[in-house]
Chains A and B, each alone.
Chain A
Amino acid sequence: MASQILGTEMKLKTGLAEMLKGGVIMDVVNREQAIIAEKAGAVAVMALERVPSDIRKEGGVARMSPPEMVEEIMNSVSIPVMAKCRIGHFAEAMVLESLGVDYIDESEVLTPADEQFHIDKMDFKTPFVCGAKNLGEALRRIGEGAALIRTKGEAGSGNIVEAVRHLRTLRSQIRRLTTLGSEELMTEAKELGAPFALVQWVAREGKLPVPNFAAGGIATPADAVLAMYLGAETVFVGSGIFKSSNPEKLAHAIVQATTNYQNPKIVAECSKGLGSPMRGLDVNLLKAEERLSERGW
């Protein structure tokens, strides 16, 4: 059990993530969207001020959502509510914890507050989710106390290519660890920049000690299915839903496709008549400073 390495306090934190598995978590910016998400079968919602594609378009500093808006969403649905704080901004995280959100996302989608340090997440009762591009990054975040890892993908792009890259990287790095001899693990921990005890655990168990979800660029039911096949245990959908021409229908379809991801007939059926998905971006045309996945380390 992962709690042997992470401690019993983590059992409650990763436990909630276990309950969210096999589901879809949707970004919402107001009460109306939260209700649409819950009715469509979302397992949780992420309350934020602007969806990533708008943050990208409008620029400026993206911060934690206003508390009254987070509370309005918490009061309008019965499913768990998550909210984002800036990387390293533990004061925002303290505010979100005091509001009683169910999960805090220390997110690269918002403008980082600290270019050197992430939040010490062990200090909080509220569990944290963090983004990762690879195994080293995932284990560093878990070492700091994250109870759930998601791929970073490239948020607000409507393009799944980066999430696929991150899922595949994580998977192949985990597989590689399981083939190493015990004497090779310390050097590997040094190369990965990851805590040794966690590297040993992953080498033995062949998986992360916390759940692993996908996020960043998921825009269609088939995108969600691809992520599930590549090892994601749940998908976050950000701008994809409420930037499409028919959010209710698309939300519904992504939920149905995620549950039935091994059944292409159902995926085909629920992919019909969805109107136009969000337009999307070619991430290769983004300049380095425009890539949100490069934030954090």
Chain B
Amino acid sequence: MKVGILALQGAVQPHEEKIKRLGVTPVRVLYPQQLEEIGGIILPGGESTTMIHLLKLNQLWSPLKHFVKIRPTWGICAGAILLANHVSRPSQESLEALQMTVERNAYGRQNESFVDSLVPTEIWKRFDKTSENIEGVFIRAPKIRDLGTGVDILFTHQNDSVMVQKDKCLASTFHPELTDSTRIHEYFLSLCQK
């Protein structure tokens, strides 16, 4: 199986390294035909406004909008913003795969970026019996607001949901690719292999 990483812009390489470490072949996705060769896709962190612009220029917008609704997908930070069905501050277009509102840069600017431990929910604990501490790296991070029905929460930080899932679609507002742990990547690959 191959797993795609949307490679228009952003933190592609750290995901590539994790996926390789777990024995799966990553594919840098830039063009629509590449969606046919992958079992799932990671939408990495970066700038969501830039990605929206480039998705359209590279004719990926419609095919990806279809893909993320039926195939395993994981959006991180800017990727989570792309997956939300509603975006605020400012409002912008999205792929509308998950019923939630995402508020951009909700913690503030870079000076408000932080690293902190996350609290797992029962759903995560059922998958991860190691009870390894999961560190959340939040960089100019968005916040998930107004979660729709049927969207499950995997991790929280203070009172915020920071990683959520509906079917095979995952969104996290923090960056597991910037830590040493591979647990969340393992979880996503398990969704791709189901």
Give A residues with C-beta under 8 Å from B. 1, 8, 11-12, 15-16, 18-23, 38-44, 74, 78-80, 97, 100-103, 125-127, 255-256, 259-260, 263
Contacts and interface: CB of A to CB of B under 8 A. Distances in A.
21 contacts: A11-B115, A12-B115, A16-B110, A18-B10, A19-B47, A19-B78, A20-B47, A21-B11, A21-B46, A22-B8, A22-B12, A23-B47, A40-B53, A43-B47, A79-B47, A79-B50, A101-B109, A126-B111, A259-B8, A259-B9, A259-B57
Contacts of B72: none
Contact of A11 (B45, B89, B110, B137): B137
The 10 A-B pairs at the shortest CB distance, nearest first, are namely A41-B53, A102-B110, A18-B11, A22-B9, A43-B47, A12-B113, A23-B9, A41-B50, A15-B139, A100-B109
Contacts of B109: 74, 80, 100-102
Nearest to A233: B13
A46 to B, nearest CB: 14
B18 to A, nearest CB: 11
A19 B45 contact: yes
A22 B15 CA distance: 14
B115 A43 contact: no
A19 B14 contact: no
A1 B137 CA distance: 14
A43 B105 contact: no
Given A16-B139, A19-B78, A127 B110 contact: yes
Given A12-B139, A126-B110, A256 B57 contact: yes
Contacts of A42: 50
B7 to A, nearest CB: 7
B36 interface: no
B90 to A, nearest CB: 6
B49 A79 contact: yes
B58 A43 contact: no
Contact of B110 (A8, A43, A103): A103
